[in-house]
Chain A
Amino acid sequence: MDKSTSQRFVPLKRNWWLKLRFFKLYMLREATVLPLVFFLLCILAGMVALLQGPESWQRWIAFMGSPIVLLLNLLALAASLFHAATFFVLFPRVMPLRIGNYQLPDKAIVAGQWAGVLAVLLLFIWLFGRASV
C-alpha cells in the first residue's frame, strides 16, 4: 500500500487546550490580556476626558468609581499579578544572567523582579501621597 494513503493523521482540534491542566493554565495566562485591555481603554478614555474639559473629566471620575468598573479593574490587577508571577519565573530561563563567572541563581532573578514591582508600587504611593497633600 502507498505510504501516504495508508498513514493516519489526526489534525489538532480547536479545543486541544481543554485536555490537560497544563494547557488550561497556559490559556489562563494568555487570557490575562483581556481585562488588561479594558483597563487600558479606561485610561485612554480618561485622557480624552481630560482634553474635553472639567465636565467630562468629572463624568470619567464617576464612571471609574462605579462598582462594575471597580470590579473589572480589580480583576485586571489580579490578572496582571498572575501574569507577572508566571512571567517572572520564565525570565531566568530565557535570559540567564551572568556576572563575570558567577551565574545568578534563578531565585535571585525572580526575587529581583518582585523587588522591582515593590519599588514601583512605593514610588507611586509616594507620588500620590504628595499629590493629595
Chain B
Amino acid sequence: MSAQQVSTRRISVKRYLPDNSTEPYWQEYELPVDDSTSLLDALNHIKEQLDSTLSYRWSCRMAICGSCGVMVNGVPKLGCKTFLRDFDDEIRIEPLAHFPVQRDLVVDMEIFLDHLAAVKPYLIDDNPVKPFDPKAPETYRQSPRQLARYKQFANCINCGLCYSACPQFGLNPEFIGPGAIALGHRYNLDSRDHGSTQRMAELNRHEGVWSCTFVGFCSKVCPKHVDPAAAINQSKVASAKHTLIALFKG
C-alpha cells in the first residue's frame, strides 16, 4: 500500500470525563488513515475533526519529549512511535496504566516525578570545576570509554511507559520504579559523579531495587532502549556489595 492510499479505520478510546460521569466508557471513532498514520496523528485528527472534547498529551511527535504515552491494546506505547498499519484487528487506546487518570488519556505522573527526585538524578560532586575563567579554562574530562559505561541509561526521556509496564509498581506505587532507578544508576556510573553513597539510601531498600523481580517488561516497552531492568539489577549487585562492605566495617 502506498502512503497515498487512504482507508478507514476504527479505533476505540477509553473516555473519562469526571465532570459528567464518575465512570469511564469506551468511545469508537472512525477516521481516514494511510500507511504513514501514527496513533498521535489519529488522535489529532479526532481532536480537530471529530470530537474536540478528547483530552491527551503530546508535544514533539518524534519520540523525544515523552508526553504521548498511552496503552495500546494493553501495552504501553508512545503515540508518535506507533503506526496504525501495524495493527490488523481492533485498536483500543487507554490512559497509561498504574497512574491515576485525570481525564480521558491524561494521567497524573506526580508519583513518578517524586520517585525521580528521590534518586537525585544529577551530577553530585564535592569538588566541582571552578566557575569558568577564560584565562584558565577548567572542564570535566571524560573519555569515550567512561561515557560508554552510562550512555545507554542516559537515553531516558521520562515518558513513564516502564512504570505502566511494571506489575510491581502497579501492586505497590511506593516502589521507586524502573525509570528513576535507571537514571540513578546512570549517575552512579558517571565518572564525574560522586553521589552514589547518597543515592544508596534510596536504592538499597525494599521500595528501591529490591522490589524488582526482573519481570523485564519495562525494558521491552522502552522506546529508547534504555533497558531499565538491567539498570535495576546492576544496582542490586552494587547494593549487595554496599551492604556487605557496611557489615564488615561495622
A contacts, CB < 8 Å to B: 1, 3, 6-10, 12, 16-17, 19-20, 22-23, 26, 30, 90, 93-96, 101
Contacts and interface: CB of A to CB of B under 8 A. Distances in A.
Interface string B87-112: 00000000001101110000010000
Nearest to B217: A22
A92 B75 CA distance: 26
A74 to B, nearest CB: 27
B32 interface: no
30 contacts: A1-B18, A1-B19, A6-B18, A6-B19, A6-B102, A7-B18, A7-B100, A7-B101, A8-B18, A8-B22, A9-B100, A9-B101, A10-B101, A12-B171, A20-B74, A20-B75, A22-B217, A23-B215, A26-B215, A26-B217, A30-B213, A93-B227, A93-B229, A93-B230, A93-B233, A94-B233, A94-B234, A94-B236, A94-B237, A95-B237
Interface of B: 16, 18-19, 22, 24, 74-75, 97-98, 100-102, 108, 145, 167, 170-171, 213-217, 220, 227, 229-230, 233-234, 236-237
Contacts of B24: 8
Given A6-B18, A7-B101, A93-B229, 7 more contacts: A8-B18, A8-B100, A8-B101, A12-B98, A19-B74, A94-B234, A95-B234
A8 B17 CA distance: 10
Nearest to B230: A93
Contacts of B102: 3, 6-7
A67 B151 CA distance: 55
Contacts of B170: 12, 16
Which interface residue of B75, B145, B214 has the most chain A CB atoms within 10 A?
B214
Contacts of B234: 94-96
A19 B92 CA distance: 14
B167 A12 contact: yes
A23 B217 contact: yes
A15 to B, nearest CB: 11
